[in-house]
Homo-oligomer: A and B are copies of this chain.
Amino acid sequence: MSDPRFFRRAGPFSLAQIAEAVGGELADDAMGDLMIADIAPLDEAGPDNLSFLDNKKYLDVLAETAAGACLIAPAMADRAPEGTALVLCREPYLSFALAARMFYAPAPPEPGTAPTATVEPGSEVPEDCRIDHHAVISSGVQLGARCHVGAGAYLGPGVTLGDDCRVGQSATLECCLIGNRVNVYAGARIGTEGFGFAVGPEGPVRIPHTGRVIVEDDVEIGANSTIDRGTTGDTVIGRGTMIDNQVQIAHNVKIGRGCILAGQVGLAGSVQVGDFAMLGGKVGVANHVKIGDGARLGALSGVNEDLAAGGTYLGQPAIPIKDFWRQVAAIRRLTKRG
Contact = CB atoms under 8 A, between A and B. Distances in A.
Interface of A: 1-3, 5-7, 9, 39-41, 43-44, 51, 55, 57, 91, 93-98, 100-101, 103-106, 114, 116, 118, 132-134, 136, 140, 150-152, 154, 157-158, 160, 168-170, 172, 174-175, 185-187, 189, 192-193, 195-200, 203-208, 210-212, 218, 220, 222-224, 226, 228, 230-233, 240, 242, 244-246, 248, 250, 252, 258, 260, 262-264, 266, 268, 280-282, 284, 286, 288, 299-300, 302, 304, 315-317, 323, 326-328, 330-332, 334-335, 338
Contacts of A105: 208
Contact of A242 (B204, B282, B315): B204
A284 B44 CA distance: 27
A114 B9 CA distance: 35
Contacts of A286: 280-281, 299
Tell me the interface secondary structure of chain A in the complex.
Answer: loop
A263 B260 contact: no
B245 A248 contact: yes
Nearest to A200: B94
Nearest to A244: B195
B210 A104 contact: yes
A204 B239 CA distance: 11
Contacts of A300: 284, 302, 316
Nearest to A95: B198
- Counted per complex, copies of this chain come to 3
A134 B157 contact: no
Contacts of A204: 240, 242, 258, 260
Contacts of A218: 203
A286 B299 CA distance: 8
Contacts of A220: 195, 206
Contact of A189 (B9, B208, B245): B245
Contacts of A245: 189, 192, 195, 226, 228, 248, 250
Contact of A198 (B93, B174, B331): B93
Most buried by B among A3, A224, A260: A224
A332 B264 CA distance: 28
A232 B2 contact: yes
A330 B334 contact: yes
Nearest to A116: B118
A157 B212 CA distance: 35
Contact of A282 (B114, B252, B282, B315): B282
